[in-house]
């Protein structure tokens, strides 16, 4: 296959989206999108860092960074320069190779998630027919990097953070996957592009419970409040990256925001109809929705305290998992029995089911206590 | 296969984000569960008691500022009360009212930090404490008006206070007193029934009534365990018998009760402030007292209800210009002795929440 051989001509698949003179060659397409994704992820992560600090500032009755550049937009740049000039410390008794490798292992999978995300119709690196499965599989590799960091630091706080990381991230994979299955059942496809195309009305309306479960489980996956146990600064200092400094720390910091970006993008794609929307260009709609989801995540972070480690686990296994199973069952029945029913009737039915289930669970499922006799 | 596990020791502190200063806990953990905890004190020991014995009675007042640096006015008050008791000095009426106003403002300021820091230890991402610092800032502005300082006030004097309040103080205080209940309601809306806060603090770190009395706990820690004990009521000092206020108590003695007691105490302090502003008389703010007070030989113990509990100063005089013995009964230190009973069997996260709910100040505990 020559370099310019139209092995994969996406502009033929998606006429009207990609420009007609779009180079058909597989490798050119690959190269162009790798550049686009890298630029998108790094720029958005920097934008998110700035936006989060400004928004949290607003939530906390203060201004947030406003010195570097207009409205402090260059603050992430200043931070990056600062972090790059820091001394890079490796603990003397740490496992040096693992310590060095950990940030890379944590960072690469997050970047790989964006390969299957459609920025608009057909504008994606690879339209995998198992796209969402790929996302779930790849993003769970990050936990290995986190555990490597905690293990190799030779620090007790880091080890506690790593222990929490493994138990929490592995547990929340299950409700996360099950809540996605509801969407997959509705769309009838695992490809992210087809899932967006299948959303004549956004799936958040048809899958309100699935959306909430996904948001909760994703918040746990990306260590956001109230599940930010891995780096609970008031308990275990900074968790798994306590010992990291300089560029390695910056990579972990970047991973955190790239993960938030990944979750925002996946939520937008699965539940908020991706690039679809009236009037505005599709890419703009996509970005608006991503920023909207991100704002909700920041809002939660600025509002609630943190759960304890056993409560986090109980929440995954006793609350999210049964609810996700029930949600999947109901969705399956609805798709089987009323494939032709007006969507609006199902919207209200599902909303009612969600309210009833959540009220029922909040009545019987109580967190609290937890003392162990020693 | 049976996996062999063994407990390991983690030093929480002295440099840790939520040890409120330089306190160190040598915690023995089994995974996340705390098996044992050994508090280590003394990282902030500055020898204030010995320093005080080398200084005149008036020179000691700035030293008391450095004890509980989140409640300097209360420390000033407790110390000057002890000296006045020792030397038999009368205080003008207006000065008494000003002292009560300052002490109650200080209680609100200190509880704001106490509650905010507790919520921070529960894992809230700085939001509650920053809201509370917003209100504390107004109190600090008021203090700055009267004495020019924002942390170490050195405002009380033996026989009164250092200066009268400036003109702009009373309108600003009235404005604060009127707005504060609204802000306390705002905190309650955000936090009182927050499901995560309830899960983290209800039933956690219970200190029973008997235990609390046995370790001679005081202040909100004691009252949360259901003991209605407030020095302002049981041994009224200054002019506290002239004000109407309630003593809020808890029932379970858990973290949540300690948090609630502090919030309710803020409401009661606002109530006292309201009455004090109305009744504030005109007149002198300081009686004629020599700078070199030379109390007759003897001893005296002056104690007040400081924000963290019973703060007492024990003074022994040998009829010289400096005290022969100067001892501080620091509520932080005594309340902290309850820590081990409260945390054993809980998780690492609870240790810091319970520690935060005791609300200590290491400046006072280590002295």
Task: Give the minimum alpha-carbon distance from B171 to chain A in angstroms, rounded to a whole number.
Answer: 24
Are A307 and B130 within 8 A, CB to CB?
no
A235, closest residue in chain B (CA to CA)? B349
Please compute the mean of the pLDDT values over residues A346-369 and round it to a whole number: 80
d(CA A152, CA A90): 10
Confidence check: pLDDT of A120 > 80: no
Confidence check: pLDDT of A332 > 80: yes
Dihedral (Cα; B168, B174, B176, B180), 10-degree rounding: 180
Neighbours of B53 (CB within 10 A): 17
pLDDT range class, residue A6, cuts 50, 70, 90: very low
Three-state DSSP class for residue B12: strand
What pLDDT, on the 0 to 100 scale, is given for residue A8? 53
Q: Tell me the Cα Rg of chain B.
A: 21
Which of B3, B122, B123, B354 to mutate to test binding with chain A, by most A CBs within 10 Å of its CB?
B123
| Secondary structure of A101-151 in HEC code, one letter for each residue | HHHHHHHHHHHHHHHHCCCCCCCCCCCCCCHHHHHHHHHCCHHHHHHHHHH
B13, closest residue in chain A (CA to CA)? A237
Give A297's contacts in chain B (Cβ within 8 Å).
none
Are B16 and A62 within 8 A, CB to CB?
no
For residue A283, how many C-alpha atoms fall within 13 Å in the half-sphere facing its CB?
Answer: 6
Q: What is the pLDDT of residues B161-207, one digit of tens each?
A: 888 888 888 899 989 999 988 888 888 888 888 888 888 888 888 88
For chain B, the average pLDDT equals: 87
Q: What is the sign, positive or negative, of the torsion defined by CA atoms of A193, A197, A199, A201? A: positive
Quick one: DSSP state of residue A21? T
Yes or no: say if B24 and B40 are a contact pair by the CB < 8 Å rule: yes
- Closest Cα to residue A292, out of A267, A326, A309? A267
Q: What is the sign, positive or negative, of the torsion defined by CA atoms of A241, A246, A248, A249? A: positive
Report pTM: 0.85
Confidence check: pLDDT of A153 > 80: yes
Yes or no: say if A198 and A189 are a contact pair by the CB < 8 Å rule: yes
Are B123 and A237 within 8 A, CB to CB?
no
Neighbours of B313 (CB within 10 A): 27
| Tally of residues, chain A | 374
Task: Give the minimum alpha-carbon distance from A233 to chain B in angstroms, rounded to a whole number.
Answer: 7
Confidence check: pLDDT of B18 > 80: no
d(CA A118, CA A290): 12
Yes or no: say if B231 and B310 are a contact pair by the CB < 8 Å rule: yes
| Tally of residues, chain B | 367
Give B345's contacts in chain A (Cβ within 8 Å).
371-374
d(CA A47, CA A283): 17
Task: Give the minimum alpha-carbon distance from B3 to chain A in angstroms, rounded to a whole number.
Answer: 16
| Chain centre to alpha carbon of residue B279 | 26
Yes or no: say if A125 and A115 are a contact pair by the CB < 8 Å rule: yes
What pLDDT, on the 0 to 100 scale, is given for residue A73? 86
A311, closest residue in chain B (CA to CA)? B199
- Closest Cα to residue B109, out of B121, B117, B98? B117
Confidence check: pLDDT of B124 > 60: yes
pLDDT range class, residue A2, cuts 50, 70, 90: very low
Are B32 and A59 within 8 A, CB to CB?
no
Confidence check: pLDDT of B69 > 50: yes
What pLDDT, on the 0 to 100 scale, is given for residue A12? 55
Three-state DSSP class for residue B286: strand
pLDDT range class, residue A309, cuts 50, 70, 90: confident
d(CA A333, CA A159): 45
Neighbours of B23 (CB within 10 A): 25
For chain A, the average pLDDT equals: 82
For residue A232, how many C-alpha atoms fall within 13 Å in the half-sphere facing its CB?
Answer: 34
- Residues of chain B with a CB closer than 8 angstroms to some CB in chain A: 8, 10, 16-18, 29-35, 119-127, 130-131, 134, 190, 194-200, 202-204, 344-350, 352
**ipTM for this prediction:** 0.80
- Closest Cα to residue A216, out of A171, A255, A185, A261? A171
DSSP secondary structure string for all residues of A24-50: --HHHHHHHHHHHHHHHHHHHHHHHHH
Are B346 and A234 within 8 A, CB to CB?
no
Q: Which of A283-292, A337-346, B163-172 has the lowest mean pLDDT?
A: A337-346
What pLDDT, on the 0 to 100 scale, is given for residue A14? 55
Q: Tell me the Cα Rg of chain A.
A: 22
Q: What is the pLDDT of residues A235-270, one digit of tens each?
A: 777 778 888 888 888 888 888 888 889 989 889 888
Give B196's contacts in chain A (Cβ within 8 Å).
226, 304-307
Are A372 and B10 within 8 A, CB to CB?
no
Q: What is the pLDDT of residues B97-109, one digit of tens each?
A: 989 999 999 999 9
Yes or no: say if B66 and B363 are a contact pair by the CB < 8 Å rule: yes
Please compute the mean of the pLDDT values over residues A174-197 and round it to a whole number: 86
Are A304 and B196 within 8 A, CB to CB?
yes
Which of B125, B189, B254 to mutate to test binding with chain A, by most A CBs within 10 Å of its CB?
B125
Are A225 and B125 within 8 A, CB to CB?
yes
Are B344 and A374 within 8 A, CB to CB?
yes
Quick one: DSSP state of residue A260? H
Please compute the mean of the pLDDT values over residues B144-156 and round it to a whole number: 88
Please compute the mean of the pLDDT values over residues A201-208 and round it to a whole number: 83
Three-state DSSP class for residue A340: coil
Task: Give the minimum alpha-carbon distance from B139 to chain A in angstroms, rounded to a whole number.
Answer: 17
The b-or-e profile of B116-133 (16+ CB within 10 A means b, else e) is: bbbbbbbbbbbbbbbbbb
A372, closest residue in chain B (CA to CA)? B345
Confidence check: pLDDT of A346 > 60: yes
Please compute the mean of the pLDDT values over residues B240-262 and round it to a whole number: 88
Please compute the mean of the pLDDT values over residues A206-231 and round it to a whole number: 84
Percent of chain A with pLDDT over 90: 1
Which of A158, A160, A308 to mutate to test binding with chain B, by most B CBs within 10 Å of its CB?
A308
B191, closest residue in chain A (CA to CA)? A304
Confidence check: pLDDT of B89 > 50: yes
d(CA B321, CA B57): 7
What pLDDT, on the 0 to 100 scale, is given for residue A355? 87
Give B16's contacts in chain A (Cβ within 8 Å).
237
B198, closest residue in chain A (CA to CA)? A368
Q: Which of B10, B17, B199 is opposite residue A234, by nearest beta carbon?
A: B17
Task: Give the minimum alpha-carbon distance from A166 to chain B in angstroms, rounded to a whole number.
Answer: 13
Are A304 and B119 within 8 A, CB to CB?
no
pLDDT range class, residue A1, cuts 50, 70, 90: very low
């Amino acid at each position: 296959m020559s370099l310019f051989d139209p092995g994969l001509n996406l502009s033929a698949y998606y006429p009207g989206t990609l420009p007609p003179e779009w180079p058909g060659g597989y490798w050119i397409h690959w190269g162009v999108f790798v550049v686009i994704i890298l630029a998108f992820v790094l720029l958005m992560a920097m934008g998110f860092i700035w936006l989060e600090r400004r928004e949290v500032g607003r939530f906390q009755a203060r201004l947030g960074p406003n010195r570097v550049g207009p409205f402090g937009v260059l603050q992430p740049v200043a931070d990056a320069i600062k972090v790059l000039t820091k001394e890079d410390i490796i603990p003397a008794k740490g496992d040096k190779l693992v310590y060095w490798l950990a940030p890379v292992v944590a960072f690469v999978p997050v970047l790989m998630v964006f390969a299957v995300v459609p920025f608009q119709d057909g504008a994606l690196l690879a339209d995998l027919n198992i796209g969402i499965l790929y996302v779930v599989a790849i993003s769970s590799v990050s936990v290995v990097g986190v555990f490597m960091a905690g293990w190799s630091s030779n620090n007790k706080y880091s080890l506690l953070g790593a222990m929490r990381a493994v138990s929490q991230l592995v547990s929340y994979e299950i409700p996360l996957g099950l809540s996605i299955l509801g969407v997959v059942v509705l769309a009838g496809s695992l490809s992210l592009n087809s899932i967006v195309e299948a959303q004549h009305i956004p799936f958040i309306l048809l899958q309100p419970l699935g959306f909430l479960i996904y948001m909760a489980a994703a918040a746990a996956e990306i260590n956001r409040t109230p599940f930010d146990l891995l780096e609970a600064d008031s308990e275990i200092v900074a968790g798994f990256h306590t010992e990291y400094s300089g560029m390695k720390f910056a990579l972990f910091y970047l991973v955190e925001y790239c993960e938030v970006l990944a979750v925002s993008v996946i939520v937008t794609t699965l539940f908020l109809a991706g690039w679809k929307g009236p009037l505005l260009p599709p890419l703009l709609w996509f970005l608006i929705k991503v920023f909207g989801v991100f704002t909700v995540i920041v809002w939660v972070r600025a509002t609630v305290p943190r759960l304890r480690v056993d409560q986090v686990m109980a929440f995954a296994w006793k609350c999210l998992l049964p609810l996700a199973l029930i949600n999947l069952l109901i969705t399956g029945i609805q798709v089987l029995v009323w494939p032709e029913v007006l969507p609006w009737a199902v919207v209200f039915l599902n909303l009612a089911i969600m309210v009833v289930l959540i009220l029922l669970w909040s009545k019987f499922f109580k967190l609290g206590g937890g003392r162990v006799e020693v | 296969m049976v996996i062999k596990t063994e407990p390991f020791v983690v030093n929480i502190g002295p440099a840790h984000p939520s040890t409120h200063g330089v306190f160190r806990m040598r915690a023995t953990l089994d995974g996340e569960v705390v098996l044992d905890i050994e508090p280590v004190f003394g990282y902030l020991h500055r020898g204030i008691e010995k320093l005080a014995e080398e200084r005149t009675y008036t020179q000691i007042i700035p030293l008391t500022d450095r004890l509980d640096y989140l409640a300097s006015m209360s420390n000033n008050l407790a110390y000057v009360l002890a000296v006045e008791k020792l030397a038999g000095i009368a205080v003008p009426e207006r000065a008494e009212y000003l002292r009560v106003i300052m002490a109650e403002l200080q209680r609100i300021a200190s509880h704001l930090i106490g509650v905010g820091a507790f919520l921070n230890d529960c894992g809230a991402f700085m939001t509650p404490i920053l809201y509370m610092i917003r209100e504390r800032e107004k109190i600090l502005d008021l203090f700055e008006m009267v004495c020019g300082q924002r942390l170490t006030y050195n405002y009380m004097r033996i026989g009164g206070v250092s200066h009268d309040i400036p003109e702009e103080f009373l309108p600003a205080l009235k404005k604060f007193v009127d707005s504060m209940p609204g802000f306390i309601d705002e905190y309650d809306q955000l936090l009182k029934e927050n499901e995560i806060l309830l899960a983290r603090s209800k039933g956690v770190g219970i200190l029973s009534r008997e235990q609390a009395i046995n370790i001679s706990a005081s202040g909100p820690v004691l009252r949360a365990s259901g003991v209605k004990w407030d020095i302002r009521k049981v041994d009224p000092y200054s002019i506290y018998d002239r004000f109407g206020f309630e003593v809020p108590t808890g029932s379970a003695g858990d973290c949540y009760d300690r948090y609630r007691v502090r919030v309710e105490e803020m409401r009661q302090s606002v109530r006292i402030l309201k009455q004090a502003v109305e009744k504030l008389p005109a007149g002198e703010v300081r009686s004629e007292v020599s700078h070199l007070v030379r109390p007759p030989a003897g001893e005296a113990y002056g104690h007040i209800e400081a924000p963290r509990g019973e703060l007492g100063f024990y003074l022994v005089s040998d009829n010289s210009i400096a005290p022969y013995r100067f001892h501080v009964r620091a509520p932080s230190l005594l309340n902290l002795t309850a820590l081990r009973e409260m945390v054993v069997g809980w998780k690492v996260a609870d240790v810091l929440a319970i520690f935060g709910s005791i609300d200590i100040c290491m400046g006072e505990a280590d002295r």
